Structure 1
Amino acid sequence: MTMTTRERIVSESLRLFADRGYAATSVAEIEAAAGLSPGAGGLYRHFRSKEEVLASAIREHIERTRKQISDVLRHATAYQDRPLEIRLRMTCQAGLAKMREEQDLVRVLFRDLDQFPHLIAEMREGIVNPLYDGIATWLSKQPEYEGLDEDWPAIASILGGAVVNYWLANESLYEPPTRIDETRFVEAWARLGLGLVTVDRAPATDTHAAS
């Protein structure tokens, strides 16, 4: 599908901000990357400022994330014919794919957004927290976990945080922690999720009998 001029400006600006930094990227460079005449003011026909372009990029990512989460939760009990471990692997892989999809935005977040606290707040409330809430809701809806008295938001923060940390290590250190490849990470992540069932379903130990 062909992008509009506005969409090209947003897309190219985010790529440039991620590669060069917000301050180091000029309006003329954004215009050139978007196919406009550099320095002719084409960007200002769609946005009031470079900051507004950045804000629009963040809000477009927020809107896309909301739709993705809504789609996932609408089909939260899909693939129930597959074992829980397979569903967990698929969830972990989807989380890593989401991190890759948002890699430019994440780079801008860590490099430049400290000067825009209001945009950090929008990302936190529009992308980060909804993703963790989505993981918690997805976990709670899996039939194998039915009846378990778990703090799903806390568990989601652990499992989701592991995905974020693994991707960030690859991104910033250029290799995964202790060189664990993605296949091993996904399998271990799924086993941790699977362990919730075996731990909570395990019979309690009779301490009197043991003594």
Structure 2
Amino acid sequence: MQRSTRERIVAEALRLFAERGYAATSVAEIEAAAGLSPGAGGLYRHFRSKEEVLASAVREHITRTAEQISTTFEQSAALQEQPLADRLRLAAAAGLRKMREEADLIRVLFRDLDKFPGLVTEMREGIANPLYDLFAKWLSGQPELAAADEDWDAVALVLGGSIVNYWLAQDALHEPPNLVDEDRFVGGWTRLAMGLVGTRAEAVQ
């Protein structure tokens, strides 16, 4: 499916912001990357400013994440017959996929968004918090854990935060920390998660 000019501008701008930084990326460079004549003002026919392009990128990712959260809730019921460890492994793999999908936006967030506190708030409330909330609800909704008296928000933050940290470290260092690849990480993460929830899982089985 061919992207519109507006979509190309947003996608290429986000890529350039992630590679070079927001301040180091010019409007003309965004126009050239999007297939427009650089310096001819094509970007301004769709956006009022470079900042508005960044804001649009953030909001489009927020919208997509909200749709994914809704879909994930609908699909999670189909996995209930699998062992808890397998469901946890799938959850970890899904978390890493989400980080890869949002790679450019995450790089911009950590490099540049402190200059735009309003967008930081939108990212926190539109992506970060809903994802942790989704994971907490997912954990508490697993049959083995449903009756457990646990602070699932805190557990979700511990488990979800380790996925975020693994991806960020790998992205910053250009290889997995200590050369632990994703399969090994997911395996270790699953064992850790089973350790955190295992006692309660056994108690309610």
- State the TM-score, normalizing by the size of structure 1: 0.92
Q: Runs ≥4 in structure 1, deviation > 6 angstroms?
A: none
Deviations 1:26-52 (A, max 9, x none): 111111111111111111110000000
Structure 1: segments with no counterpart, 5+ residues? 204-211
Give how far 1:87 is off: 1.0
| Aligned partners of 1:136 and 1:156 also within 8 Å | yes
- Residue in structure 1 matched with residue 89 of structure 2 by the alignment: 89
CA distance in 2, matches of 1:77, 1:191: 22
- Residue in structure 2 matched with residue 53 of structure 1 by the alignment: 53
Give how far 1:198 is off: 3.0
Give how far 1:77 is off: 2.1
SS at match of 1:145: coil
Matched to 2:18, the amino acid is: A
Give how far 1:19 is off: 0.6
- Residue in structure 2 matched with residue 149 of structure 1 by the alignment: 149
Structure 2: segments with no counterpart, 5+ residues? none
CA RMSD after TM alignment: 1.3
Q: Residues 40 and 199 (structure 1 numbering): CA distance in 2 closer, same or farther, change over 3 Å?
A: same
Matched to 1:4, the amino acid is: S
Deviations 1:145-191 (A, max 9, x none): 12111111100000000000000110112232332221111012112
- 1:63 and 2:70 matched: no
CA distance in 2, matches of 1:90, 1:167: 16
Deviations 1:60-110 (A, max 9, x none): 000000111111112222222221111111110000010011110111111
CA distance in 1, matches of 2:51, 2:13: 10
SS at match of 1:144: coil
Matched to 2:91, the amino acid is: T
- State the TM-score, normalizing by the size of structure 2: 0.95
CA distance in 1, matches of 2:175, 2:202: 37
CA distance in 2, matches of 1:162, 1:198: 18
- Residue in structure 2 matched with residue 22 of structure 1 by the alignment: 22
> Identity percentage over the alignment?
67
